[in-house]
Structure 1
Amino acid sequence: MLYIGLDLGTSACKLLLVDETGAVRNTVTKSYPLSFPQPGWSEQAPEDWWQAVLAGVPELLTGFDPAQVAGIGAGGQMHGLVALDEADRVLRPAILWNDGRTASQVDYLNGQVGKAVLSQRTANIAFAGFTAPKLLWMRENEPELFARIKKIMLPKDYLVYRLTGVHATDYSDASGMLLLDVEHKCWSAEMLAECGVTEAQMPRLFESWQPVGTLTADAARALGLPESVVVCAGAGDNAAAAVGTGTVGEGHCNISLGTSGTIFISSDKFGVDPNNALHAFAHADGGWHLMGCMLSAASCNSWWQDQIIGTTDYKGEEAKIDPDKLGRNHVYFLPYLMGERSPINDTDARATFIGMTMDTSRADMTQAMLEGVAFAIRDSFEVARSLGIEIPRSNICGGGSKSALWKTILANVLGIPLDTVATEQGPGYGAAMLAMVACGQFSSVRQAADALVRIQSTVEPDPALVARYNDRYARFKKIYPACRELFPQLM
Structure 2
Amino acid sequence: MFYIGIDLGTSAVKLLLMDSDGKIVNIVSKEYPLYFPQPGWSEQNPQDWYEATVLGIKELIRDVDKSQVAGISFGGQMHGLVILDEDDNVIRPAILWNDGRTGAETEYLNRVIGKEKLSAYTANIAFAGFTAPKLLWVKDKEPENFAKIAKIMLPKDYIAYKLTGVHCTDVSDASGMLLFDVKNRQWSKEMCDICGIQVSQLAKCYESYEAVGTLLPQAAQELGVPASVKVAAGAGDNAAAAVGTGTVGDNMCNISLGTSGTIFISSKQFGVDSHNALHSFAHADGSYHLMGCMLSAASCNKWWMDEIIGTKDYATEQQSIQKLGENHVYFLPYLMGERSPHNNPDARAVFLGMSMDTTRADMTQAVLEGVAFALRDSLEVAKSLGIRLERTKICGGGARSPLWKKIVANVLNLKVDVPESEEGPSMGGAMLAAVACGEYKSVEEAAERIVKVVETVEPEPELAARYEERYQYFKEIYPACKPLFHA
Same fold (TM over 0.5): yes
The SS at the match of 2:446 is: helix
Matches within 5 A, 1:2-401: 2-322=2-322, 325-401=323-399
Quote the Cα distance in structure 2 between the aligned partners of 1:56 and 1:335.
Answer: 32
SS in structure 2 at match of 1:457: strand
Residues 218-266 of structure 1 show CA distances to partners (whole Å, capped at 9, x for unaligned) of: 1111111110000000000000000000000000000000000000000
Counterpart residue type for residue 472 of structure 1: R
Q: What residue is the counterpart of 1:437 in the other structure?
A: 435
Question: 1 CA distance for matches of 2:389 and 2:113?
Answer: 34
SS at match of 1:486: helix
2:416 counterpart of 1:418: yes
Match of 1:409 in 2: 407
Partner of 1:27, secondary structure, is: strand
Aligned equivalent of 2:482: 484
SS in 2 for 1:316: helix
Q: Deviations over 1:20-72 (max 9, x none)?
A: 00000011111000000000000000000000111111111111111000000
Partner amino acid for 1:301?
N
The alpha carbon displacement at 1:94 in A equals: 0.2
Query: Which letter does structure 1 place at the counterpart of 2:428?
Result: G
Q: Tell me the alpha carbon deviations over residues 385-417 of structure 1, each in whole angstroms, 9 at most, x when there is no partner.
A: 011001110000000000000000010000111
- Aligned partners of 1:151 and 1:127: how far apart in 2? 22
Task: Give the SS at the match of 1:484.
Answer: helix
Where 1:478 maps in the other structure, the secondary structure is helix
Instruction: Return the offset for 1:321.
Output: 1.0
Superposition deviation, residue 423 in structure 1: 1.8
Amino acid at match of 1:456: V
The one-letter amino acid of 1:83's match is I
Q: Structure 1: how far apart are the matches of 2:211 and 2:307? A: 43
1:452 matched to which residue of 2? 450
Query: How far, CA to CA, are the matches of 2:232 and 2:210 in structure 1?
Result: 5
C-alpha distance in 1 between matches for 2:333 and 2:29: 27
1:424 Cα shift? 2.0
Give, as a single letter, the amino acid of the residue that structure 1 aligns with 2:366. Answer: A
Q: CA RMSD in A?
A: 0.5
Deviations 1:324-354 (A, max 9, x none): x211101000000000000000011000000
Gaps in structure 1 of 5+ consecutive residues: none
For 2:235 and 2:414, the matched residues in 1 are separated by 28
Distance 1:142 1:467 in 2: 53
Q: Find the aligned partners of 1:59 and 1:466 in 2 and give their Cα distance.
A: 45
Shift of 1:18: 0.5
CA–CA separation in structure 2 for the residues paired with 1:404 and 1:189: 47
2:426 alignment partner AA: G
- Distance in 2 between the 1:115 and 1:488 partners? 21
SS at match of 2:152: strand
Tell me the equivalent position of 2:470. 472
Write the distance in 2 (CA, Å) between the matches of 1:42 and 1:173: 19
- Counterpart CA distance in 1 for 2:383 and 2:57 is 43
> 1:488: how far off?
2.2
**C-alpha distance in 2, partners of 1:58/1:404?**
34
**SS across alignment from 1:231:** strand
Q: Distance in 2 between matches of 1:27 and 1:312?
A: 22
CA distance in 1, matches of 2:263, 2:451: 19
2 CA distance for matches of 1:18 and 1:266?
24
User: What is the distance in 2 between the residues matched to 1:477 and 1:53?
Assistant: 41
Question: For residues 169-191 of structure 1, what are the alpha-carbon distances to aligned partners after superposition, in whole Å with 9 as ceiling and x for unaligned?
Answer: 00000000000000001110010
CA shift for structure 1 position 432: 0.4
Distance 1:388 1:457 in 2: 28
The 2-side partners of 1:158 and 1:58 are apart by 19
TM-score, reference length from structure 2:
1.00
Measure the CA separation in 2 of the matches of 1:183 and 1:488: 34
> Which aligned segments of 4 or more residues in structure 1 are displaced greater than 2 angstroms?
none
Secondary structure at 1:163 match in 2 = helix
Distance 1:277 1:372 in 2: 19
> Cα deviation per residue 1:88-133 (whole Å; 9 max; x = unaligned)?
0000000000000000000000000000110000000000000000
Give identity over the alignment, percent: 66
State the distance in 2 between where 1:186 and 1:14 align: 29
Amino acid at match of 2:61: L
Amino acid at match of 1:90: V
- Secondary structure at the aligned position of 1:51 is classed as helix
Letter aligned with residue 449 of structure 1: A
